[in-house]
A and B are shown apart, each in its own frame.
Chain A
Amino acid sequence: MNFLARRQALANVAEVTLVALAAGGEVEAFEELVRRREPRLRQFLRRVCANTALADDLSQQAFLQAWMQLRTLREPAAFGSWLRQLALNCALQQMRRRTEQLDPDAGMDIPANDADVGLVLDLERALERLRPDERICVVLCHAEGMSHGEIATHTGWPLGTVKSHVTRGSARLRAWLDPGVLEAP
């Protein structure tokens, strides 16, 4: 089977099978996993970091860690949440290392669809203004649908801290966002 035919065949394979193949050392299967997961992972990290370039670097780092640790994943169906946890750990490590402010010019890309530009810029600006720890809690709670307890488990922060970050961060986000954007259907 040539390269293109094999790639085409892998494009139709279920993710669980791809994970099993990649865990067995098949690079093509892992490449297909990366291709499927990278937009979602980059969006998650862009929200968490509020920095496009950093989010792309961390995505790459998270995928490489996933390749190295794939054999330790016991439940292939949980690949998505496992990968998100790896990415979150990368972001948290980066946050601890970074003492300097983020580069204010390192803004996010504007999506190709013009109709969504206003929404994205408003949400991005508001997220950028949040404190990093508040931003992480707000994104995990509202964008990823995690409970406060799950956020505390995933970040290693106390439950009370998570609750106050979510409450304060959400209130700030709402205050900074255009009401028209918030109330749009």
Chain B
Amino acid sequence: MALYFLKLKLIRFQGIYFKMAIDTERVQTIEEIEPFEAAEEINGGNVVLIDTREPHEYQEAHLENGKLVPPGLIADEIAEAAPDKSARTILYCRSGNRSAIAAAQLQQLGYENVASMSGGIVQWQEQGLPVVSPSGMTAEQRERYSRHTLLPEVGVDGQLKLLNAKVLLLGAGGLGAPTALYLAAAGVGTIGLVDDDVVDASNLQRQVIHNTERIGMPKTASARIFIEGLNPDVNVVEHNGRLDSSNILDVIKNYDIVVDGADNFPTRYLLNDASVRLRKPVVSASILGFDGQISTFVPYEGPCYRCLYPTPPPAELAPSCSANGVLGVMAGTMGTLQANEVIKLVLGKGEPLVGRLLLYEALGTRFTELKVRRDPDCPICGENAEEIPESEMGKFPDYDAFCAGAGGDR
């Protein structure tokens, strides 16, 4: 391909700038190669591959080992990307025009063995050749999650982990509502919701994903409407029913993390025993009045719920929110702390509340952290807990009897 260059220079004359052509009809020839030829050379090694597009195009997809040098920055950045001027250097862009111009520029800079890939990455992909998609995200997703991807602790990789994460929320009520809200906003790709209740006016003081119009609607359906309105990236799975020993393993096995906001002890113990068996981390919180508790149970890495609470309390020590009342904001505080724990677990960053119980008392605005140890005698995760035989899988003790009278409120 022959390129005609007119070198332009600004000349000042009587206070006015004029563009003057100083080199006319300078003809330069560059080498162009087809994508399959480029692929052969690249596979053979010893090729410097330069991507002469803009960063946002590069983010979407580029050739493996392609180094980004945007067209406007060639003079500044090419020496770093391609330090050896005698090395074979192949340039590509979207369709072959920018890389042809860049190839000519490189030749002028003294590069001796330059080629431009004709047809660019478009033709490369049309021929079925592989590209790297560093973001794996659409343009809309890059925009939506830009405040996440700017954080070194999240980045594009972390956001992709969130988009691929599957999180089950046990309860779409006080705790589940704020947790669902922030996990959906964060782009957690699959959110499952277990709840058999319908939206009631008395819920709306704290259950912020439901609204007045949806009173009477199943909470899982109402949650779906809210979540899908907030973030179309989220796949919502409704489990409109209650977990019991016959279905819990089937429900939780498809998720990476379970968030426990259950309103009764039988479900909390059942979830604990099933999650330890399937080695699913559980982020567990509870609220009452102005008080909240939260901890993260990662099976065999830290204690389980039974290590913390071996026996459920009697009914008089286990009042429910409906009997006792709860400050609506408390649900938000503890639910968003649960969402924070989930995100840390998904990213593999920070220090989850493993082996720690965080207490929050809202009237005094006081946080207290307590240590929770694994109980070597724990019947579920202890050192002497017997391996559960295959024939016993899915069989659980009678939790309602175990928790008789203990906060079984609905």
A and B: real partners?
no
B residues touching A (Cβ–Cβ < 8 Å)?
A: none
A residues touching B (Cβ–Cβ < 8 Å)?
A: none
